Every structure is written in C-alpha cells, then in structure tokens.
Amino acid sequence: MSKKSIMVMCMAAALSAQAQAQTQKKAAPTKKPATVVTAPQKQGQTRLVEKVTRKSGELVIPYEKYVLPNGLTVIVHEDHSDPIVHVDVTYHVGSAREEVGKSGFAHFFEHMMFQGSDNVADEEHFKIVSQAGGTLNGTTNRDRTNYFETVPSNQLETALWLEADRMGFLLDAVTQKKFEVQRETVKNERGQNYDNRPYGLVYEKNSAALYPYGHPYSWTTIGYIEDLNRVNVNDLKNFFLRWYGPNNATLTVGGDVTPAQVVKLAEKYFGPIQRGPEVKNMKLPAPVLTQDRYISYEDNIRFPMLQMTFPTVPNYHPDEVPLDVLAEIIGGSKTSILYQNLTKAQKAVQASAGHPASELAGEFTLTVLPLPGQSLADMEKELRNALVEFEKRGVTDDDLERFKASYESGIINSLSSVAGKTSTLAAYQTFTGNPNFLTNQLKAHRAVTKADVMRVYNQYLKGKKAVVLSVVPKGKPEMVAKPDNFKVDPSGYKAPADQYAGLTYVKAKDTFDRSKVPAAGKNPVITVPPFWKQNLANGIKVIGAKNDEVPTVTLLFTLQGGHKLEAHDPSKAGIASLMASLMNEDSEKFTAEEISTKLEKLGSSISFGSGSETMTVQVQSQVKNLDATLALLEERMMHPRFSQDDFDRLKKQRLEAIKNQSTQPTVIANNVYNKTLYGEGHIQAIPVIGTSTTVESITLDDVKKFYANYFSPSVTNLVVVGDVEQNQIMPKLAFLNKWAAKPVTMPAEPKLASIDKTRIFIVDKEKAAQSEIRIGYMAMPYDATGDFYKAGLMNYVLGGAFNSRINLNLREDKGYTYGAGSYFSGTESSGPYTAYAGVRSNVSDSAVVEFMKEIKRFREEGITDEELAFMRSAIGQSDARKYETSFQKAAFLNNMLRYNLDADYVAKQNQILQTITKEEINALAKKYLPIEKMSIMLVGDKVSIKPGLEKLGYEVVELDPDGAPVLAKADVPVTPAEPKKAEPVKKGRKARAEGRVF
C-alpha cells in the first residue's frame, strides 16, 4: 500500500477520538500514550493485548486490542459522537500472495465474498446491510484485502454475523455459475478501468519492467485476462483456504460501541472458526537495475506521456519520509521544480513527482505529459535536469516547514470519520502489528531533516538507473523517448513451493443457530444538526453549524450562476471556469507560488471552481490559523491579479484539454448526452469548460469583465462549519462587508429540447473495448418534498441501489458491466432522468434491450410490497450516516440556502418516505418513465455495435464527438429487423444492497 494511501487513512483517523475519548487510566509521567499490557493468554481464552488511551493534546486513536484463541485480532475504538458503527475485516492477502499464471486471484475472490455463504443467501449480504441503512464495500490492493460496513449502531451484531459467515462458511455457496458471472464482472472492471481508459496500462507496463519476472509486484491487482480465463473454481477455493483464516485477519470495530460488547459478539460469531495455515510476512530485496530500461506502448491518447521510475524502499522504512519530501520538492506543488520548469513554462500539460510505497517496495516516479511541440526525448532531458537542479538547489527550511505542516494538517482535517479511524487502526495492525503506529509516523515526519533528504537523493536517485516508459498515440511509435531496450525475461525464474496442497475445508461447530439473522437493537435517535443564520448588508446569506470534533473550520461560498451565466453570450462559453482557474493564480500582492507557500505553512487550503450553475470558493483551516488564512482569502477573492501570462498559459492548457476529450469515452458520452437532452442553443448543451471555438474567442478583458459583472455578494451563500461559535467567526468575516454588491441578472430559461420518439444515437470510438451507454430524457427540476423527491424514492429499487433491478440484471445476472443504474438529478431550473453503464462492446445491443426491458417492466408492473418495505427501511435508517463529518454538514446547510428550504424539510421528507403508498410509487413510474420518448446514446466502436443496434427497431442516428449529426455516405433507408427479445425475468430473484462494490 502506498504511503499516500496509508496517510489518507490516517487522515480519517484520530482527532475525532481526541475530542471524544475519555482517558480510562491515569496517565503515566511520560509523553507516551498510556498502554496496558496484560498477562499471557491462557488456553482457550481471549487475551487483552493492550489498551491505548489519549492524553490531552495527543494525536492518538484510543483503542483496545484483543486476540481470540483462533488467532483473530480484534481492535475496538469507542466513539459515541454519532450513532453509527464501522466494521472492518482486513485479511493480509493481496495480489502479492499470487503466483505466476494466476494473477488477479485476490481481487477475484473479493468479488466472490459478496456472493452468499451458508447462512446468507445469494445477494442477501447487500440487501441486509442496505435495508439497515448502511453502506458497504470491499477493496483489494497489492498487500491486503478488506471488507467493511458502516451501519447504525443498533446493527452491530448483524454486521459481525455477516462478516463471520463469509469467513467461516463460504465455500459450499461458491457455485460454478456465480464464478462465471463474477469472472465476467472482473473482466468488465478491467475493461473500464484499464483497457478502455487513457493511460490505463501505465501501472501494468511499468510494474512488469521494474520488478523481476515472478516478483509479486510485477503484475497488477486486476490481473491479466489470460489468467482470468485460465482460473477455475477449485483454484479459487484453494486460495480462500490458504489465506482467509482468522489468524490472517484483523477485525476492527469503531464507533458507538463498547469493547466488552464487541469482544462478546466476536467470540460468539468468529470464535468457533478454525485457524487457517500459518501466514508469514514477506520480505524481498529491492529491484536492481543495471541500465535504464526503455519501454513503450501505444494508447488512444492525445498527449504522449513519459514516466521515469526509480526503485526505493517499502512502507515504514526510515528513508520513506525523506523520499516523500524529495518528491514534494521536485514535483509536488506550484513551488516545485517540475511545475515551474515545465507546467508554468508551458512545456507540459502536467508534470509531477511522487513516491508511492507498498509493503514490499517503493517507487519514486517522475511523470510528464508534454504539450504539442515538445518531444518525449526533450522531456526526458527536462526530468534529468530537474534532478540536477535539485542537487544544486538543495533543501530549504521552508521546504521542511511546508511539508510538515501540510502533513499534520492533512491528518487533522480528516479525523471526523469513524470509518477513517477504524481503517487506520486496521491498516497499521496488518502491516506493523501496532495499531498505534500513527504515533511513529508523526515522529518520523516531525524529525526529518535537510540532511536526510539530500542523503536519500544521493542514495536512490543520483546516478541511478530507472524504468523509462513512453506512452504514445496509436500509430505514432516514432514518438518514443528512445527505442525499447528491455523485454521481460522469464528465464531463471523458479516457481515457489506449492502452498495449496492438502488444504481441507472444515466448518466451525456452533452452540447456537447461526442461520438466524440477529435481531437489531432499538433504532438510534437521529437529529438534524443545529444551525444559525445571518445575512450581511451586501446580500451574502450566511448559515453555520458548530462541529467541535476536530479543531478546524470549513467555509464554502456558493455564487449563483457559473456556466449558466454564459447564456448571456454563448460565444464565450467556458469563461466562468477559466476565471475560476485564474483566481487560483496570482493576486495583486502575491504570486501563486507565494500564496501556495503561505497556505502550506498554515496547513490551509483555498480553491476556486465553477460548475454548471454555481461558482464556488472552498476554504479549509485549522482554528489556530484561521485569521491568517482569511487574510489570504480576502487577497485572492477581492484582489486577483488576472495577469496576461497566467491567462495565456491557462487558456492554452484549456484548449489542449478540450482537444484531449476526444480520447475519453466517458467524457464524450456525458457531453453528447447533455446535448441530446438540452438541445442545440441551450448553454447546458455546451460543456462547462467550453469548446475550442468558444475558448479561443475569450480574452483577458472578457475575464475581467465577467468577474466585475458576476462575482458578486448579491448572489452569494456562505456555509461555515467548524469549531467556532457564530459570535467568534462573524467578526473575522468583517472583510466581506467591503465586497461591493452589484446586481446580477440570470439569463432567461430557454425552452428545453423535446423528444418526439425514442432514438438510438451512436458516437464512434474506434476499436473501443467497451461502450458507454446513457438513456434518458429531461424530467423535472429539484424539489425537496415534491415529485422530484418522490421520483427518487420510486427509482431507488429500479436503478438507485446496488441491488436495483437494473444493476442486478446487467451486472449480476448477465455479467455485461462493472456497474449499471439510473437516477434523477436536478437543479432549480431542470433535471434529467438518466440510466447508465459501461458495457462490453460485444453486448451493446443486448444491454440496451435489458435496460429498456427493466424500465418498461417497472413502469407497467410497478413496485412490489417487498421492494417498498426495503426502500423505506434503507433510506430511512441511512439518516444515521448523514451528518457525521464537516463535509456532510456543510453540504446539508448549503442545500438549505441554495433551495430556500424550510428548517423542517428533512422531517417532511421522512414523513413522505414513511407514508408513500404502492399506488403513488406506481403512478410516479407511469408518469416519469416515458420509455417511448427517451434518448439512447452509445459511445463505442461503430463497426462492432451498429449492426446489432439497427435490429432493435429504433431509428439510429450517428453523431460526431461534438454531438453533431454525421452525414450518411448513401441516402439509403434502413428497414429495421425484428427487435431482439429481452431475456425472461427470473422469478424469485432477491434484492441487493446499495453501494458501489469492489
């Protein structure tokens, strides 16, 4: 796992505990956290290993750690700030435990763990968690696999029962049919995230060249298609028996629980499961490169890419942190060498450095995407020159101060999530055996010196060899930095000893009936967070809420308009987004680099953005640094420099980004779909970033005029969430009173395009492995308690949940896709209904048939009693998770201001949820699922998909990537063949739960 991955988990980890946990033992006269180590474990007893408490001012996650007799480690973090609980089971097995020829097993098995077990029927795991108001998922990386649920605290026992059942009672439920369906799902995932994504194979190609043949990091977690085709169900079962024992797992529970409660339930449900084979930690030498290894491949891209990778050290090695500092200095921010020399100098779209580290090895990477006119050979020289420049420049006190402040601030800013705290404890236990390793990490970051950074530069980069990967557009192999000089050589590889011989499946024997779903406790009481309101004289509407779980403050400014304002002059579309980008650059007093440096030292952030109907300003600060952060905010908001140099550079980058969209099927699909919905001439039919024609016409004076006319307090809402009271924060915001109000007139809403009949639109993406599908029409604007809200309830079981009819059909039954669904989205003015998926190219027509079948069946037959009860329970109980973090509170408050909602609108929604009838749901389906008047759009390989689509009985229209009709070569009408029939609906199919899985 990369250092940044661990850090992100840490960031979601400790300070909420700081505010919530009570010290349970008198602190010893030391700066270390209090730790209690018990006596050795007696035979057959659960052992308390340690108890860590927090003293005032420490960044520590309090917990108790136990070990069951079967080897299962149990960690409990008690935090009663919200009525929720997070359950995480981490197995110390990832793709690094696989063998040559059997790649992808760990990830494949993650999929199989969601397919039912002895006492949990197929698809029931998802349904039970979702119906309880929870969310769930699973993830796999090189070194570990984890499964987790966040549920209301009254559902703790149910979550533990579910996880224990698949740990101890899985294999008899693994069938050949389930195996085949999930194999197709994994292939779809690979197609979507690797094969059909620009630069998607960089990691795979680089890993194969960097590590020796047979090294467990020489392949990626997703695996190779040929290995997925080769694997059989018995191979997969053996993988489970070898690695999924309780002695290779950590159960971590955090939230509204007590340790005694968790341990008792863990003993009941996990205790009877037998130990698995012993698992030892791996340790491998770092790769040794005797020469620079040049490799390349062709991809469907606009910008070529060059990446240099040097082998370094694993996670938690003493040199990891100084290498992280080195990466930051060379290519981590606006002050970095690569940004200044390449990005700002307009030689590259982006240039960066990073140091991802995993359990067995680390990689120092330099990456650049040059702008046209710059060759990859030139870029290689630039990257090597950047290293030389660093050596001359050295490390400054500023470098270390910014790095350390940003690191600690990052941790503090993300400590409000019980899921984050729990996963952090789990990760540290899995990889270090010490859940409290956050303390060690903080020490390492605080202690790093300039000499450390120079030492690791000399040791790992200076004069060292690297893998140099060129990614070039298809058909242009001459663009590589240098000809390939390396091929993977399997000679000399010696396969490891067989680890799977003689494995047997022995089920646990229970003293209770494990087939019974545990009864839930009393539903927790959920209350909407209290808030305050205040309006400023210049028109700013302020709403705020106190949140003292972390010592931070979040400010969110939302200005009405954004892209929508460009309807006043569509020839300048993209100007709002371009203006926001410029406001992230120089101010009148400071350069962008100076502001970046100041913010990093404060551990703060300020960012400007613009979307389809709003412009935003987001601010994050520790309470102690709020005054200094607000001073920089005033400078950036009120006094942008709008320099010609910045404008020229950002405009050039924007134009290249627009051209680059032609390589991204998902972006093409979204843009063209919007055009079919809104119609020619509507501003929302134009991408938010504009088109080449509109952006080319924008001048710096246009931007200044747009700022003067539309960046106004009269259309501004401000949300404040943090560890401050209203009477503390409002005086600090007094500078906003100097912001002069100006009237802002919103453009008149144009008439939306109408759809007279359902048509299929095809956008050609030659040789695409997948087709992106969008189906829908323009439905209705947002309404918190009207038909918009009710239609969302209606759609939940059709396409809104993971267990929806659409996803269950296309993903779980057919194996067409990695994920499919549908939703209503809306703003004040409009809102589409959209069904979506990315499917294998060879099933494009069949996928359309199944989409339309499910929508039609739901419209005609309506919702079942079981589905209605499931929807009510799932949406109603999810309230426990709605207001946990500062971000969630800010989003809730922002919604109230933006749509002028009543203070009790949540209560009204809950009343609607509990009283809406089956008849009302069915009437909504008939009204808002007009299958005879929808646009069906596919972005895919026309040659492959068009013949099948033409047989479905719809008019087929070809569009170019900009959404314009493609003229036919011959005006010959096509007579539709007999429509393809939908596959029959399977009876007795059970519902499945919400959440994007795997």
Give the mean pLDDT of 774-787: 96
Amino acid 987: pLDDT: 37
Q: Using CA atoms, how far apart are residues 701 and 80, in angstroms rounded to an integer? A: 54
| Beta bridge mates, 886 | none
Amino acid 878: pLDDT: 85
Identical fold for domains 532-738 and 759-959, yes or no, is yes
Q: Using CA atoms, how far apart are residues 396 and 449, in angstroms rounded to an integer? A: 10
**Which backbone phi and psi does 353 adopt, to 5 degrees?**
-130, 150
Q: If you search the block for the tokens 């453009």, which residue do you land on?
A: 747
| Beta bridge mates, 213 | none
Which CATH code fits 759-959? 3.30.830.10
Amino acid 582: pLDDT: 98
Burial 774-797 (b: 16+ CB within 10 A, else e): bbbbbbbbbebeebbbbbbbbbbb
Residue 876: is its pLDDT beyond 90?
A: no
Structure-token pair, residue 694: 């509109």
Q: Using CA atoms, how far apart are residues 32 and 34, in angstroms rounded to an integer? A: 6
Give the closest residue to 896 by CA, choosing from 794, 791, 785: 785
Residue 832: is its pLDDT beyond 60?
A: yes
Amino acid 37: pLDDT: 52
Q: Using CA atoms, how far apart are residues 939 and 961, in angstroms rounded to an integer? A: 9
Q: Using CA atoms, how far apart are residues 526 and 980, in angstroms rounded to an integer? A: 49
Q: What is the pLDDT of residues 101-129, one digit of tens each?
A: 999 989 998 999 999 999 999 888 999 99
Give the mean pLDDT of 719-729: 96
- Other Cβ atoms within 10 Å of 988 Cβ, number: 4
Q: Which of 53-62, 304-313, 833-842 has the lowest mean pLDDT?
A: 53-62
Structure-token pair, residue 100: 């040559």
pLDDT-derived band at 35 (thresholds 50, 70, 90) equals low
pLDDT-derived band at 411 (thresholds 50, 70, 90) equals confident
Give the mean pLDDT of 500-520: 92
Residue 830: is its pLDDT beyond 70?
A: yes
Give the mean pLDDT of 885-897: 89
**Which backbone phi and psi does 552 adopt, to 5 degrees?**
-130, 165
Q: What is the pLDDT of residues 300-338, one digit of tens each?
A: 999 999 999 999 999 999 999 999 999 999 999 999 999
The DSSP symbol for 733 reads T
**Which backbone phi and psi does 886 adopt, to 5 degrees?**
-60, -40
Cβ atoms 431, 315 nearer than 8 A: yes
Q: DSSP of 802-859, one letter per residue?
A: TBSHHHIIIIIIT--EEEEEEEE---SS--EEEEEEEEEGGGHHHHHHHHHHHHHHHH
Q: Using CA atoms, how far apart are residues 857 and 314, in angstroms rounded to an integer? A: 54
Q: Using CA atoms, how far apart are residues 164 and 177, in angstroms rounded to an integer? A: 24
- Other Cβ atoms within 10 Å of 986 Cβ, number: 9
Local structure of 314: helix, strand or coil: coil
The helix (run of H) or strand (run of E) holding residue 605 is: strand 605-610
Q: Which is the CATH superfamily of the domain at 532-738? A: Metalloenzyme, LuxS/M16 peptidase-like (3.30.830.10)
Going by DSSP bridges, is the β-strand pair 467-473/293-299 parallel, antiparallel, or unpaired?
A: parallel
Looking at residue 655, its amino acid is L
Cβ atoms 830, 770 nearer than 8 A: no
Structure-token pair, residue 454: 């120079």
Going through 105-209 in order, the beta strands assigned E by DSSP cover: 135-140, 145-152
Give the closest residue to 328 by CA, choosing from 385, 407, 411: 407
Domain range 293-414+437-479, CATH architecture: 2-Layer Sandwich (3.30)
Region of residue 224 (left: phi > 0; alpha: psi -120 to 50; beta: else): beta
Q: What is the pLDDT of residues 911-926, one digit of tens each?
A: 999 999 999 999 999 9
Looking at residue 361, its amino acid is A
Amino acid 968: pLDDT: 59
Length of the chain measured in residues: 998
Local structure of 515: helix, strand or coil: coil
Mean pLDDT, the chain, whole residue set = 90
Cβ atoms 552, 886 nearer than 8 A: yes
Going through 234-345 in order, the beta strands assigned E by DSSP cover: 249-255, 293-299, 305-311
Structure-token pair, residue 451: 């000499």
Give the mean pLDDT of 792-814: 95
Cβ atoms 938, 946 nearer than 8 A: no
Looking at residue 489, its amino acid is D
Q: If you search the block for the tokens 């040059």, which residue do you land on?
A: 370
pLDDT-derived band at 58 (thresholds 50, 70, 90) equals confident
Residue 747: is its pLDDT beyond 50?
A: yes
Amino acid 414: pLDDT: 66
pLDDT-derived band at 10 (thresholds 50, 70, 90) equals very low
Residue 36: is its pLDDT beyond 70?
A: no
Local structure of 556: helix, strand or coil: strand
Looking at residue 154, its amino acid is N
Looking at residue 908, its amino acid is K
Cβ atoms 119, 162 nearer than 8 A: no
The DSSP symbol for 29 reads S
Give the closest residue to 423 by CA, choosing from 11, 863, 879, 793: 11
Amino acid 42: pLDDT: 53
Local structure of 773: helix, strand or coil: strand
Q: Write down the pTM of the prediction.
A: 0.88
Q: Which residues, including other chains, have CB under 8 Å from residue 624's CB and lie 6 or more apart?
A: 551
Residue 33: is its pLDDT beyond 70?
A: no
What are 662-665's contacts with CB under 8 Å, separation 24+?
662/302, 662/961, 663/198, 663/300, 663/301, 663/302, 664/198, 665/196, 665/765, 665/768, 665/770, 665/772, 665/838, 665/939, 665/940
Q: What is the pLDDT of residues 648-703, one digit of tens each?
A: 999 999 999 999 888 899 999 999 999 999 998 899 999 999 999 999 999 999 99
Residue 991: is its pLDDT beyond 50?
A: no
Q: Using CA atoms, how far apart are residues 796 and 813, in angstroms rounded to an integer? A: 19
Cβ atoms 270, 532 nearer than 8 A: no
pLDDT-derived band at 60 (thresholds 50, 70, 90) equals confident
Q: Using CA atoms, how far apart are residues 14 and 32, in angstroms rounded to an integer? A: 15
Would you state the torsion angle of the CA atoms of residues 892, 897, 903, 904, taken in this order, to the nearest 10 degrees?
A: -60
Q: Report CA-CA distances (Å) from 599 to 80, 406, 410, 588, 627.
A: 33, 9, 12, 17, 12
Looking at residue 81, its amino acid is S
Residue 34: is its pLDDT beyond 60?
A: no
pLDDT-derived band at 485 (thresholds 50, 70, 90) equals very high
| Beta bridge mates, 87 | 149, 253
Q: Which residues, including other chains, have CB under 8 Å from residue 208's CB and lie 6 or more apart?
A: 218, 219, 488
Cβ atoms 688, 577 nearer than 8 A: yes
- Report domain extents, the chain: 293-414+437-479, 532-738, 759-959
Structure-token pair, residue 89: 């089971």
Residue 996: is its pLDDT beyond 70?
A: no
